[in-house]
Chains A and B, each alone.
Chain A
């Protein structure tokens, strides 16, 4: 029997061994995941600075290797806040180092998207990463690698350069192994969907074949940034509560409850502690593990807490979502688009907001084969995989009876659902689809029903207008013939003018109708 060897592994080591968790499971997923992680970091950096993102992304093929995979160089530049020089090595060379450890809505979820990308690049190519950043003064440039075993950055070269143009932002350049041809469609789709919920962002992408894709902003308006808030008592778990009790400055449980949780005043704190069977005066540090477990369980049962605050959420807003959808789907003037933002709601102590939209237009028909195309977003990140496992698919295909809304099987529809929450109820560790949490499912269903009601009116009106239009066409066709042959039949020379009669017919057509008929057909977007 061999002796088992026990060793601790560093977080870098852990992710190196379990990289599929972060989406780097194979060469085609890897290059897609790399684009996604770096782009999301850049978008967050720009929002932190409150400037409209202007992002340049380039992928170049460096060397082809066997079995369809190649070595690619990936470069991304943004105009975000920039990273202070002293934080750059840790930010990009150490797992679990970042600025995302407060309770507010943000894109990244692990705080390691950038680093895991760099890690993956390093282990597949053994090339260093270059990071250039400025917060407005000098430009700092690092060439570095990650010491995987010890989870720490290894700086190879470091330059400081003057910043004559007052550039601010970050550029990252790394090499990784991937398979672009097999992820090409996903990457394009990801960028397009990202552009849809970031209508204030300019994104340019040059792919390995030298093709330039541009997603241009449609507005300079940006959504309200989320505010950091204290946790809601019902959203707390045992480990978080244990940590809080060990670092708190409060010396009584009553003060502790009031200081560390949102919406808890003196009355609520006293009532809750009484129900939980904890003395208000006891020192938090003195709680036993059993006490902590009981308190967490009681928070779920206690009815006296007010709803979680939603100011920590950053929904897009109806106006911006509409602008984004309109531009990325190329909707025509007469096309249907209805957007709704629901009121904040909660599940298990986590606030969330559902935003939803339905689009229906000829331009959509030219982009798809008919039926319903779903766009899913969680905290402004597009979800591209496992569509049929997610809650949105379930709502669209099971909960909603589309025929109620005059939608038939071949009616081209786009459904957009954006879920904002401090904790997205992902079903799996891959974070690709949302679980059917009852409260969330109900909100999505209600949101779509509200917009579908507008859709029903629109379709009913379209059907009526199409019918009226056909009627007019028929009169336009036959009245002149009647005029012609009644003239010939009665031996006259002057053909009666049927225009006044046609005006009588068209007077019954609604105004909008004429407008629609003037909108030229928009060609499908090439991709």
Chain B
């Protein structure tokens, strides 16, 4: 059953335009029949977001809702949804990509459709994803680019003007930005046997400089904080399609912990989507126990940190023993540490000592 859903979720991109058109057909026919148009979709309210232990990610439950244009409170978002569908179809037709921010601004030119703010337009886009069971990247809407990838992976572009062109991701020493072109490219070949995901840009640069990709035979990915969906989608593909194990290194604090968890189990916000989570991924540090074992320089946990740790302790994604142990340790020592903290032992210590030890232990 989960497999079927997963397949359904990963409909080929080419069919996205067709699905958008179908949505238009349904609404058009309803209007021609003098009906107030409406559509059904899965509910995204919190009580319909369920943790699926088999899939090891959040999924939407069975409850569906109706978006109905006869409803005074729904007709505006309904109209925005139709417009956004049309906008997505135009993007596909013109083979252009756009960003969430651009969608928000494009609507500003449309009288009566304008979004009040970007979170409203983001929300409508999520509605459209849910209604069509497709990710927004399928209709060429991408987040702002900020994360990067580096390592021996050869890709082949599919974007207009670059079709068939290949590139090896070691070609640029700053790494390659994970944007629409990279996200839509085919992965041709790689010699790497693992993926190292790093939360922070400074540490990513350090790993490139120290030739960590060669030393550990890894593809390096920099998430720049909470990883964007396109980055999670790439990690997912490298893990599932290329069979590469995924190791995640973050700061040793509740926020770093959760960056790792979202890569592994997905977020509640994306419960309607598949293909973003990497359940096989592993969080390797910085653990609370590392802080103790390596005697890292620390800062005290703030009240905000403590509160967040207690929330995570109750979260179903954190049930496994490792997570519970680390959360408890954080709470016990009341300290946190950043990845950069290893610099107290020298700039290369993290590459020379810490990572090998961690990978060894994994």
Q: How far is the CB of A12 from chain B (nearest CB, A)?
A: 75
Is B82 engaged at the interface, CB distance under 8 Å to the other chain?
yes
Q: Quick check: A486 and B76 within 8 Å, CB to CB?
A: no
Interface window among B19-27, B221-229, B272-280, B315-323: B19-27
Task: Give every chain B residue within 8 A of A485 (Cβ-Cβ).
Answer: 24, 79, 82-83, 85-86
Is A488 engaged at the interface, CB distance under 8 Å to the other chain?
yes
Q: How far is the CB of A478 from chain B (nearest CB, A)?
A: 4
Q: Quick check: A489 and B24 within 8 Å, CB to CB?
A: yes
Is A347 engaged at the interface, CB distance under 8 Å to the other chain?
no
Q: Considering the complex, which residues of chain B in the window 2-29 have a beta carbon less than 8 Å from any beta carbon of chain A? A: 20-21, 23-25, 27-28
Whether A488 touches B78, Cβ cut-off 8 Å, given contacts A478-B112, A483-B31, is: no
Q: How far is the CB of B11 from chain A (nearest CB, A)?
A: 18
> What is the CA–CA distance of A496 and B89 in the complex, to the nearest angstrom?
20
Is A498 engaged at the interface, CB distance under 8 Å to the other chain?
yes
Q: Quick check: B113 and A496 within 8 Å, CB to CB?
A: no
> What is the CA–CA distance of A485 and B21 in the complex, to the nearest angstrom?
11
Task: Give every chain A residue within 8 A of B20 (Cβ-Cβ).
Answer: 489
Q: Quick check: B85 and A481 within 8 Å, CB to CB?
A: no
> What is the CA–CA distance of A479 and B86 in the complex, to the nearest angstrom?
16
Q: How far is the CB of A415 from chain B (nearest CB, A)?
A: 36
Is A521 engaged at the interface, CB distance under 8 Å to the other chain?
no
| Neighbour of B75 across the interface among A474, A487, A496, CB < 8 A | A474
Q: Quick check: B112 and A486 within 8 Å, CB to CB?
A: no
Task: Give every chain A residue within 8 A of B75 (Cβ-Cβ).
Answer: 474-475, 478-479, 482
Task: Give every chain B residue within 8 A of A7 (Cβ-Cβ).
Answer: none
Is A410 engaged at the interface, CB distance under 8 Å to the other chain?
no
Is B359 engaged at the interface, CB distance under 8 Å to the other chain?
no
Q: Quick check: B78 and A482 within 8 Å, CB to CB?
A: yes
Q: How far is the CB of A408 from chain B (nearest CB, A)?
A: 24
Q: How far is the CB of A477 from chain B (nearest CB, A)?
A: 5
Contact with A along B58-97 (1 / 0, CB 8 A): 0000000000010010011011001101100100000000
Is B1 engaged at the interface, CB distance under 8 Å to the other chain?
no
Number of interface residues of A (CB under 8 A): 21
Q: How far is the CB of A205 from chain B (nearest CB, A)?
A: 53
Q: Quick check: A481 and B36 within 8 Å, CB to CB?
A: no
> What is the CA–CA distance of A274 and B347 in the complex, to the nearest angstrom?
123
> What is the CA–CA distance of A489 and B92 in the complex, to the nearest angstrom?
12
Task: Give every chain B residue within 8 A of A491 (Cβ-Cβ).
Answer: 21, 24
Q: How far is the CB of B13 from chain A (nearest CB, A)?
A: 18
| Neighbour of A486 across the interface among B34, B36, B37, CB < 8 A | B37
Q: Quick check: B82 and A490 within 8 Å, CB to CB?
A: no
Q: How far is the CB of A256 from chain B (nearest CB, A)?
A: 78
Chain B residue with the shortest CB-CB distance to A481: B79
| Neighbour of A489 across the interface among B34, B78, B89, CB < 8 A | B89
Q: How far is the CB of B76 from chain A (nearest CB, A)?
A: 6
Whether A490 touches B76, Cβ cut-off 8 Å, given contacts A478-B69, A481-B112, is: no
Task: Give every chain A residue within 8 A of B89 (Cβ-Cβ).
Answer: 489
> What is the CA–CA distance of A492 and B26 in the complex, to the nearest angstrom?
12
Task: Give every chain B residue within 8 A of A489 (Cβ-Cβ).
Answer: 20-21, 23-24, 27-28, 82, 85-86, 89
Task: Give every chain A residue within 8 A of B28 (Cβ-Cβ).
Answer: 486-487, 489-490, 492, 496
> What is the CA–CA distance of A478 and B27 in the complex, to the nearest angstrom?
14
Whether A488 touches B86, Cβ cut-off 8 Å, given contacts A474-B75, A475-B75, A479-B69, is: yes
Task: Give every chain A residue within 8 A of B31 (Cβ-Cβ).
Answer: 482-483, 486, 496, 498, 501
Number of interface residues of B (CB under 8 A): 25
Is A166 engaged at the interface, CB distance under 8 Å to the other chain?
no
Q: How far is the CB of B24 from chain A (nearest CB, A)?
A: 3
Task: Give every chain B residue within 8 A of A496 (Cβ-Cβ).
Answer: 28, 31-32
> What is the CA–CA distance of A486 and B26 in the complex, to the nearest angstrom?
8
Is A471 engaged at the interface, CB distance under 8 Å to the other chain?
yes
> What is the CA–CA distance of A479 and B89 in the complex, to the nearest angstrom?
20
Is A500 engaged at the interface, CB distance under 8 Å to the other chain?
yes
Chain B residue with the shortest CB-CB distance to A492: B28
Q: Quick check: A482 and B37 within 8 Å, CB to CB?
A: yes
Q: Quick check: A501 and B34 within 8 Å, CB to CB?
A: yes
Q: How far is the CB of A306 from chain B (nearest CB, A)?
A: 62
> What is the CA–CA distance of A479 and B85 in the complex, to the nearest angstrom?
16
> What is the CA–CA distance of A479 and B112 in the complex, to the nearest angstrom?
11
> What is the CA–CA distance of A486 and B37 in the complex, to the nearest angstrom?
10
Contact with B along A497-518 (1 / 0, CB 8 A): 0101100000000000000000
Whether A501 touches B36, Cβ cut-off 8 Å, given contacts A481-B112, A485-B82, is: yes
Report which residue of A479, A490, A492, A501 has the largest number of chain B beta carbons within 10 angstroms of its beta carbon: A490
> What is the CA–CA distance of A59 and B254 in the complex, to the nearest angstrom?
87
Report which residue of A474, A478, A479, A483 has the largest number of chain B beta carbons within 10 angstroms of its beta carbon: A478
Q: How far is the CB of A208 from chain B (nearest CB, A)?
A: 56
Contact with B along A452-480 (1 / 0, CB 8 A): 00000000000000000001001101110
Chain B residue with the shortest CB-CB distance to A505: B70
Task: Give every chain A residue within 8 A of B112 (Cβ-Cβ).
Answer: 477-478, 481
Known: A478-B78, A486-B28, A489-B82. 8 other contacts (CB 8 A): A475-B72, A475-B75, A478-B112, A482-B79, A489-B27, A490-B24, A490-B27, A501-B36
List of 6 A-B pairs having minimum Cβ-Cβ separation, nearest first: A489-B24, A490-B24, A496-B31, A486-B27, A486-B28, A478-B79
28 A-B residue pairs with CB within 8 Å: A474-B72, A475-B75, A477-B112, A478-B75, A478-B76, A478-B78, A478-B112, A481-B82, A481-B113, A482-B27, A482-B82, A485-B79, A486-B31, A486-B37, A487-B28, A488-B24, A489-B24, A489-B82, A489-B85, A489-B89, A490-B24, A490-B25, A490-B27, A492-B28, A496-B28, A500-B34, A501-B31, A501-B34
Interface residues of A (CB under 8 A from B): 471, 474-475, 477-479, 481-483, 485-492, 496, 498, 500-501
